[in-house]
Structure 1
Amino acid sequence: MSKPSIALFDYGSGNLRSAFRALERAGGQVELTGDLDAARRADGLVVPGVGAFAACMAGIAGHGLDGVVRERAAAGAPVLGICVGEQVLFEEGIEHGVETAGIGVFEGRVDRLVADRVPHMGWNTVEAAEGMRLFAGIDPAERFYFVHSYAAKTPPPGAAVATAVHGEPFVAAVERGPVSATQFHPEKSGDAGRALLTNWIEGLR
């Protein structure tokens, strides 16, 4: 059986090397690309992201990736967002009082975590909604690796959501239709992260 094709999109932000290796180990045929046609035709599209919401959106919009993500979501073609790649799927992000429009696949906004210590950096458990594909077969006690200061805090309507707590509850992962996303870094999350990526890739077949 051939491996599902995955376009890991390079728009100038993201932990691309480790994400590429992790997706390959999880069973994908991965192409690191900045080509929109490759992003359209792949079985799965991965949107990575590190750093600031506004900077990531500038790169995404500058490459035209926002339109492709919306096209795929409307067509039922799978998309996976990672870290800030999850955040930009929401309607807007607010950083230092500045609002930046996101891709808008999910309703809601991304805002700064209210916690004694920010950023939220390190390992944390998540509580996944029953039946989430990403977490199939993964022990609820498993921990995933987070590095972020901002997060979505309100689940989008009709979505299956996994939550974590750092000072307050936030959206740690979300699934709705063909679009999935994680606030944590599965590529840095050891065996649990590999199992999650394998679950997503198996859903591409």
Structure 2
Amino acid sequence: MIGIVDYGVGNLNSVQNALNSMNIKSIISSSAQEISKCRSIIVPGVGAFPDAMENMKNSGLDKVIKEAAKEGKPILGICLGMQLFFEESDEVEKCQGLGLLKGNIIKLEGSIKIPHMGWNSLSFETPSPLLSGIEENQYVYFVHSYYAVNCEDGIINAYSTYEKKIPAIVSRGNIFGMQFHPEKSGEFGQKLLKNFVEVI
């Protein structure tokens, strides 16, 4: 069973619908106890980093996710969910993340349109089980205004170029993250989610 974490921000139903279409069982829950019993965890997210972390701490979900990471359970973060895995974010105010990956989250700036919203292709950097059987330069759907920088060596599996290099898929061990929305990225996104399930 995959536990989809409900911490008050996120596109929960669309993630579950994507899993349902592949006949993969999941539950949506805000209960730390329920999520702790799941074999794997997905942390979705749309919203502000500080609000997300506050909600997680108030519900005890932050501790559950950290413990699951130590136990080796496969964990996937999507969009804001991926950003929460890093050490710190500048969004709204300086805020500590879950610290599962080294790096920090900063605002997208430049001549580009912000938020970064739409389809961009992926370039591969470091092998990952998520990219098994997948060809490079496939398009995925992004919606974000912040991105990861100062990432530890070897964790960027794929990136997109939007004036800047945007880490799009990151992983270390049992921790996986996607800055884009696989559940909104058509057949290619479904394949990425299927590859995550196969890791489980």
> Would the TM-score normalized by the shorter structure come out above 0.5?
yes
**Corresponding residue of 1:101:** 96
Confirm or deny that 1:150 pairs with 2:146. yes
CA offsets per residue over residues 1-43 of structure 1, 9 Å max, x none? xxxx100111111001111101222342111111212212212
Q: Which has the higher strand share?
A: 1
* Cα distance in 2, alignment partners of residues 78 and 113 from structure 1: 29
* Cα distance in 2, alignment partners of residues 151 and 139 from structure 1: 24
Aligned letter for 2:101? F
* Cα distance in 2, alignment partners of residues 172 and 74 from structure 1: 24
Runs of 4+ in 1 over 4 A off after TM superposition: none
Percent sequence identity over aligned pairs:
38
Contact persistence 1:186–1:197 (CA under 8 A): yes
Deviation at 1:159?
2.3
Aligned letter for 2:10? G
Helix, strand or coil at the partner of 1:46? strand
CA offsets per residue over residues 107-165 of structure 1, 9 Å max, x none? 11100112321110000111223421112112212100000000102332442431111
Contact persistence 1:27–1:201 (CA under 8 A): no
**Corresponding residue of 1:51:** 47
Contact persistence 1:82–1:185 (CA under 8 A): yes
Unaligned runs of 5+ in 1: none
Aligned letter for 1:114? E
* Cα distance in 1, alignment partners of residues 126 and 105 from structure 2: 24
Single out whichever of 35-44 and 168-177 deviates more from structure 2.
Answer: 35-44
**Corresponding residue of 1:77:** 73
C-alpha RMSD of the superposition? 1.4
Helix, strand or coil at the partner of 2:46? coil
**Corresponding residue of 1:37:** 33
Helix, strand or coil at the partner of 1:202? helix
Q: 2:165 is matched with which residue: 169, 174, 184?
A: 169
Aligned letter for 1:145? Y
* Cα distance in 1, alignment partners of residues 37 and 157 from structure 2: 27
Unaligned runs of 5+ in 2: none
Contact persistence 1:153–1:169 (CA under 8 A): no
Contact persistence 1:16–1:48 (CA under 8 A): yes
* Cα distance in 1, alignment partners of residues 158 and 151 from structure 2: 9
What count of residue pairs does the alignment treat as equivalent? 199
Deviation at 1:75?
1.1
* Cα distance in 1, alignment partners of residues 26 and 48 from structure 2: 25
**Corresponding residue of 2:84:** 88
Confirm or deny that 1:66 pairs with 2:62. yes
- In structure 2, relative to structure 1, the CA distance for the partners of 1:24 and 1:165 (3 Å cut) is same
Single out whichever of 160-169 and 114-123 deviates more from structure 2.
Answer: 160-169
